[in-house]
A and B are shown apart, each in its own frame.
Chain A
Amino acid sequence: MSAALLLRLSVEDFLYQEAALLDDWKLREWLALFSPSARYEIAPTGDPDAGTLSSADALFLVADDRERLEQRVIRLQKPQAHAEYPHSRVRHVYSNVRILKDTGAQIEVNSNFVTFRNKRGITATYMGWHRYLLSRSEDSYLIDLKRTVLDLDGLVPQGKVSLLL
Chain B
Amino acid sequence: MAAIIQAPQSYRSRYLWLDRERGRFLVHRSAYTSPEIFEEERRRILHRSWIVLGHESEVPNKGDFVVRQVVDRELIFNRDVEGNVNAFFNSCRHRGAAICREPRGNRTRFVCPYHGWAYKSSGELFNQHSTFGYGERFNEGGFYNLTRVARIDKRAGFYFVNFDPNAIPLDEYLQDAGPMLDAIADQSAVGMEVVRGCHEYEIKANYKLICENSYDGYHLDITHSSFVDYMRTMVRGVPVSEMNIRGIAKSLGNGHACFELEIPTGRPVAQWLPVWGEEARVEIEAKKKELEGRLGKVKADRISVTNRNMVIFPNSIINDQQTVLLRTVTPTAHNRMIIRAWSIGPKDEGPVLRRIRNEGALSFLGPGGFATPDDVEMLELCQRGFENSDIEWNDISKGFRRDENTLHDYDDHYDNELQMRAYWFRWNEIMSAPEPRG
Which of B203, B342, B354, B377 is A57 in contact with, Cβ under 8 Å? B354
Interface residues of B in 336-361 (CB under 8 A from A): 338, 340, 342-343, 351, 354-355, 358-359, 361
- Does A68 count as interface, using CB distance less than 8 angstroms? yes
- Does B226 count as interface, using CB distance less than 8 angstroms? yes
Q: Which residue of chain A has the shortest Cβ distance to B275 in the bound complex?
A: A67
- Does A32 count as interface, using CB distance less than 8 angstroms? no
| Contact of A83 with B373 in the complex, beta carbons under 8 Å | yes
- Does B202 count as interface, using CB distance less than 8 angstroms? yes
A42-B368, A61-B367, A80-B226 known; A154+B200 contact, CB < 8 A:
yes
Minimum Cβ distance to chain B for residue A49 (Å): 9
| Contact of A59 with B358 in the complex, beta carbons under 8 Å | yes
Interface residues of A in 112-157 (CB under 8 A from B): 153-157
A61-B368, A78-B226 known; A155+B201 contact, CB < 8 A:
yes
Q: Which residue of chain B has the shortest Cβ distance to A119 in the bound complex?
A: B377
User: Which residues of A lie under 8 Å from residue B225 when comparing CB positions?
Assistant: 80
- Does B150 count as interface, using CB distance less than 8 angstroms? no
In whole angstroms, what is the CA distance A157 to B230 when docked?
28
| Contact of B377 with A83 in the complex, beta carbons under 8 Å | yes
| Contact of B200 with A45 in the complex, beta carbons under 8 Å | yes
Which of A59, A75, A156 is B196 in contact with, Cβ under 8 Å? A59
A75-B230, A80-B226, A82-B378 known; A56+B354 contact, CB < 8 A:
yes
A155-B367, A160-B372, A161-B367 known; A60+B197 contact, CB < 8 A:
yes
| Contact of B233 with A71 in the complex, beta carbons under 8 Å | yes
| Contact of B201 with A160 in the complex, beta carbons under 8 Å | yes
- Does B213 count as interface, using CB distance less than 8 angstroms? no
User: Which residues of B lie under 8 Å from residue A45 when comparing CB positions?
Assistant: 198, 200
| Contact of A57 with B196 in the complex, beta carbons under 8 Å | yes
User: Which residues of B lie under 8 Å from residue A35 when comparing CB positions?
Assistant: none
Which of A75, A153, A161 is B200 in contact with, Cβ under 8 Å? A153
| Contact of B368 with A46 in the complex, beta carbons under 8 Å | no
| Contact of A62 with B362 in the complex, beta carbons under 8 Å | yes
A61-B366, A63-B362, A157-B202 known; A53+B196 contact, CB < 8 A:
yes
In whole angstroms, what is the CA distance A67 to B227 when docked?
14
Minimum Cβ distance to chain A for residue B378 (Å): 7
Q: Which residue of chain B has the shortest Cβ distance to A80 in the bound complex?
A: B226
Q: Which residue of chain A has the shortest Cβ distance to B342 in the bound complex?
A: A59
| Contact of A55 with B201 in the complex, beta carbons under 8 Å | no
Which of B198, B226, B351 is A75 in contact with, Cβ under 8 Å? B226
A61-B368, A75-B370 known; A154+B338 contact, CB < 8 A:
yes
| Contact of A160 with B367 in the complex, beta carbons under 8 Å | yes
| Contact of A60 with B358 in the complex, beta carbons under 8 Å | yes
In whole angstroms, what is the CA distance A71 to B373 when docked?
15
- Convert B376-397 into 0s and 1s, putting 1 for each residue whose CB lies closer than 8 angstroms to a CB of A: 1110100000000000000000
In whole angstroms, what is the CA distance A58 to B354 when docked?
9
- Does B204 count as interface, using CB distance less than 8 angstroms? yes
User: Which residues of A lie under 8 Å from residue B200 when comparing CB positions?
Assistant: 45-46, 153-156
Which of B351, B370, B377 is A72 in contact with, Cβ under 8 Å? B370
Minimum Cβ distance to chain A for residue B34 (Å): 22
A63-B362, A160-B367 known; A83+B376 contact, CB < 8 A:
yes
Minimum Cβ distance to chain B for residue A128 (Å): 13
User: Taking beta carbons and an 8 Å cutoff, which residues of A are in contact with B?
Assistant: 42, 44-47, 53, 55-63, 68, 71-72, 74-75, 78, 80-84, 153-162
Q: Which 7 A-B pairs have the closest CB atoms?
A: A154-B200, A59-B197, A44-B197, A61-B368, A155-B201, A83-B373, A162-B373
User: Taking beta carbons and an 8 Å cutoff, which residues of B are in contact with A?
Assistant: 103, 195-204, 223, 225-227, 229-230, 233, 338, 340, 342-343, 351, 354-355, 358-359, 361-363, 366-368, 370, 372-374, 376-378, 380
Give 22 A-B contacts (CB < 8 Å), ordered by A residue.
A56-B358, A58-B197, A59-B358, A59-B362, A60-B359, A61-B367, A63-B358, A63-B359, A68-B363, A71-B230, A72-B370, A75-B230, A80-B226, A153-B103, A154-B202, A155-B201, A156-B338, A157-B202, A158-B201, A159-B204, A160-B201, A160-B367
